[in-house]
Amino acid sequence: MFARQLWEAEAGSTPIHRLDGRIKLVLLAVLGTGVILIDSPRTLFLLLAATLAGHTAAKTSLRRWVLLALFLLIAAWGSMVSQAMFYNQEPRNPIACLIAPATPILGRLTDGVYIYQEGLAYGAVQAMRSCIMLTYGFLLCWTTDPRELLRSLVFWRLPYELSFMAVTGLRFLPVVLSETATVITAQRLRGFAASKAMSPAGAVRTAFRTLWPVLARSLRRAVTLAMSVESRGFGSSWRMAAMPPLTPGGKTALAGCLAAALLAGAAKLLYVFQFNGWAHFAGCRFVYDFARQWL
C-alpha cells in the first residue's frame, strides 16, 4: 500500500502504454461526461468492464489489481450503503430495518433507519460511476509518464499552472505515501504506538505527528522539483512545437471516440426532449429506443 512503485507510472510496451497521452485525456473527459449522462446500468457495467479490460491489456501487476480491487470495493460499498440507507425518492420499499422507530433515543431521532431496495439499486448505479472513473484514473496514472501527461494537458489548453499542479500532485502521491510509511516506522522505532491513541484527542495528535514531517519533507521536495522543472525550460512561455502530431491511428481513435461521444450525447438529448414532451421526431424512434435501453 505504501510502496512507491505501486503508485507510480511504469514504463511498458503494451498498446495502452503506447496510446498517446492526449487521447487518454480525451477518453477521460468523455468517460467523465458519459458517466454523468448515462443512466443505463447495463451501459455503465459495460464501461466498467471496458476500463477493467484496459488494465488487462496494460498487464497490470497482481499487486496493483489488489490495490484497485480494494479501492473499488470501498467506493462501491460506500456508495451503495449510503444510498440504500438515505434514499429519499418515492417509491421506496424497505427490505431491512437497521434501527426501528421504537428504539429509544436513536429510533426517535432518526424515525428509523431502513435499507431501501430502490436505494440499493440507485447506489449500485452510482457505485459503477465512481468505479469507472477510479478504474480509468488508475489506468491513466499507471500507464502514462507524468511528463507526457503534463504536455498533453498543456496541449489541450489547460493553463500551465493548473497542469503542473495536477501532474505534480500525481507525481508526489506515491512519494508522500512512501514517506508516510517511513514516518510511521520512525514513530514505531521511537516507541510510539498508534494503537494507544484511540481516543479522539489521541487520534488528532497522532494525525498531526504523522502529518508534520510528511508535509515538511513534501514541501521541500516540491520546491526542488518545481525549480528543477522550471530550470529545464518549462514555464508559461512553453512552446508546443515539440509535441509530435498525432499518428494516423491516433487521429482515427480520437475522431472515433469524439464521434461516438457526440452521437451518444445527441441521442440522449433527443431522448430527453422526447421524454419531457418538448420535442418529438417520428423519424427518430430508433434513437429513442436506443437511448432508453442504453443511455
| Binding region for other proteins (CB under 8 A) | 5, 8-11, 145-148, 151, 171, 179, 182-183, 185-193, 208-210, 212-214, 216-217, 220-221, 224-235, 237-244
CB 9, min distance to other proteins, A: 5
CB 64, min distance to other proteins, A: 15
Choice between 220 and 285, CB closer to other proteins = 220
CB 273, min distance to other proteins, A: 46
CB 248, min distance to other proteins, A: 16
Choice between 154 and 270, CB closer to other proteins = 154
Choice between 40 and 168, CB closer to other proteins = 168
Choice between 105 and 242, CB closer to other proteins = 242
Choice between 20 and 179, CB closer to other proteins = 179
CB 264, min distance to other proteins, A: 34
CB 132, min distance to other proteins, A: 25
Choice between 138 and 234, CB closer to other proteins = 234
To the nearest 10 degrees (0 to 180), the angle between helices 146-155 and 21-37 is 70
- The answer to whether the peptide bond before residue 91 is cis (omega within 30 degrees of 0) is yes
The count of residues in the chain is 295
Cβ count within 10 A of residue 35: 21
Choice between 95 and 227, CB closer to other proteins = 227
Cell of 223: 520546491
CB 21, min distance to other proteins, A: 11
